[in-house]
Chain A
Amino acid sequence: MALATDIKPPPSAPKLIEDLTFLNEVVERTAGVSRLEMCIQCGTCGGSCPSAADMDHTPRMLFAMIRAGMRQAVLMSNTPWICVSCYHCVVRCPQNVHIADVMYTLKSMAIEAKLYRDSTAPDFSKTFVDMVEEYGRSYEFGLATRHYLKHFPLRLPGMSPMALGMLTKERMSIRPKRIKNIKQLKAILQRAKELDVKAQRPVA
């Protein structure tokens, strides 16, 4: 007969409540009304996705994981990085979930939490954005070479036909072009960044 003292206390409850805020956070940080809570797990998204084969999780699964509060696993998934924003899933989703925009949100959250396994994609986005913030325009030649040199140095011989071809046909500009009122753009982006930081403070 077991004594009262033998009875193990219940395992400490997982931090469910805290983790369940994850869904809310993703919804909050997605532009427009994401309708992510409305997902019925039908799987239409994954079935429509041209890059599903390369994804760690199908969009459907990822959305279930978001609801389950699996923050770490979700932000480490390569799925948002593999998403090519083709919007096939978006027009087919019976619940009108803004799937592609949720993917953008997850990318930004993964960057913030530094939870990505391969920095190629985040670096590409950052390089692009740095360029845009500096010039107000994108600067393709510089972007492609900077990016390739960093990530695919061994590929450059294979890549050079394309770059040389583009260059000789003058399709990539060699000098970046700056917009006139770059000061205005910088001020706008600065204020926008401050607003985002302010909005995220209570969560952090």
Chain B
Amino acid sequence: MTKYLYYPGCSMETSAKAYGFSLAKIAPLLGLDLEEIEDWNCCGATEYLGISLTPAYALISRNLALAAQQANGSRTVVAPCSACYLNLAKADYYMHEQPKLAQNVNEALSAGGLSYKPGSLTIRHLLDVIIYDIGLDVIKSKVTRPLTGLRVAPYLGCMVPRPDYEKRWSDPEHPIELDLLLKALGAEVIDFPLKTHCCGGHMTQIGPETAFELIRRLIASAAQYQADIMVTLCPMCQMNIDAYQGEVNHHFGTVYHMPIVFFTQLIGLAFGLDAKELGFGLELVSARKALEKIGIEAPEPAPAAPRPRKQEGLPMPKPLPNKATKLSEKGKVEK
């Protein structure tokens, strides 16, 4: 077993439960010993950095300080979420690059009896660890149910391959690691041109129309390549493409049905684990049909009351939602 300090991040327990469930299932099989950082806090996502400097970095660094304190046998922190991974890596890197930042952050940390020495931990993303520490050979050797016939679009999004301070990936714009992993599972991997393009990030909350177009491009491209399913490593990407797909269809008058799941879920399937235990069925755009194609039965979608898709067709008062957004987005001048 290889030991790591584990920083789950907020979404693993909420919107990305399927990621958390499937990781918990495959970790022992891969020999990954993930020791959760005790009492970790939110990394601030992409929000805190835009509000203030020292507090944002102090928030991130409390986790680094706790991890360093807890470190025992391993000084590598693993994060499954792209934004968490980048924030932790960035804080470590910038405090190294700019001692003044490290000094301020440490002064803040001292108010809580903590400290952190930049460079004393290594921050890595889960996929990086699975590919480069565990290795494709080990993964291949555990495959009992190859995903033969499943056409997958490998989708990494932005913050894992970029900016890549430590040059861990094969390429910041077209890395091949996720492709290789999915091939090792027996899947048919499309050469997805938008694999590191943006999912819209927090723009789904702020300027939905900007986000919808970014999401549409991704789904349209995957569909054009006749992918059955998209595979991601980021809770935010999954959320945007899955939960907002109905909205995107509604907005553009399209009828896409492109499920998106986490790479850990597909690893689990190929290892012969039960689809339900891997969190299949939690996605809003059901992956059932894609799995049926390779003879795997996925759980029935949860009996949602009221069912989301029906809801869209109900004669609800919809006072020109698009115009309303435009108004509040563009024309409005704040008092």
- CB-based contact A165/B50 at 8 Å: no
Known: A82-B207, A177-B13, A195-B54. A158 touches B318 (CB 8 A): yes
CA distance A195 to B172 in the complex (A): 35
- Cβ distance B220 to chain A, nearest Cβ, rounded Å: 14
Interface size for A (C-beta < 8 A) is 81
Query: Are A162 and B158 in contact, CB atoms less than 8 angstroms apart?
Result: no
Residues in B49-90 with C-beta less than 8 Å from chain A: 49-55, 57-59, 62, 90
Contact A192 B15 (CB under 8 A): no
Q: How far, in Å, is B118 (CB) from chain A's closest CB?
A: 11
Across the interface, name the chain A residue whose C-beta is closest to B103.
A195
What is the size category of the interface that chain B forms with chain A? 35 or more
Write out, one digit per residue, whether chain B residues 253-286 have a CB within 8 A of any chain A CB (1) or not (0).
0000000000000000000000000000010100
A190 to B108, CA, bound (A): 8
Chain B residues near A157: list those with CB within 8 A: 316-318, 321
Q: Given the known A-B contacts A152-B328, A155-B325, A157-B317, are A193 and B47 also in contact in the complex, defined by CB atoms under 8 Å?
A: no
Return chain B residues, CB-CB under 8 Å to A187: 111-112
Note all chain B residues with C-beta closer than 8 A to A21: none
User: Which of these binds chain B: A9-17, A36-44, A62-70, A122-130?
Assistant: A122-130
Interface of A is mostly: helix
User: Contacts A81-B206, A104-B50, A180-B39 known; A138 to B45 CB distance under 8 Å?
Assistant: yes
Write the B307-328 contact mask toward A (1 if CB under 8 angstroms, else 0): 0110110001111110011001
Please state if A91 and B210 are interface contacts (CB–CB under 8 Å): no
Bound Cα distance A181, B203 (Å)? 31
Does B191 sit at the interface, judged by CB under 8 A?
no
* A162 and B162 contacting across the interface, CB-CB below 8 Å: no
Is A111 an interface position by the 8 A CB rule? yes
The answer to whether the Cβ of A105 comes within 8 Å of any Cβ in the partner chain is yes
Contact with A along B199-220 (1 / 0, CB 8 A): 0111101111010001000000
Chain A residue at minimum C-beta to C-beta distance from B57 = A31
Please, how many angstroms separate the alpha-carbon atoms of A154 and B94 in the complex? Answer: 42
Contacts of A180 in B (CB 8 A): 39
Residues in chain A near residue B50, CB distance under 8 A = 80, 103-104, 107-108, 111, 125
Known contacts A31-B98, A162-B247, A164-B306; decide if A185 and B52 are in contact (CB<8 Å): no
Q: Report A-chain residues with C-beta under 8 Å of the C-beta of B49.
A: 31, 101, 104, 108
B112 touches A188 (CB 8 A): yes
Residues of B within 8 A of A29 (CB): 53
Q: List 22 A-B contacts (CB under 8 A).
A: A31-B98, A32-B94, A33-B97, A50-B197, A51-B203, A84-B214, A100-B163, A104-B49, A108-B49, A118-B329, A124-B205, A129-B48, A140-B10, A158-B247, A166-B284, A171-B17, A179-B40, A179-B41, A191-B110, A195-B107, A195-B108, A196-B53
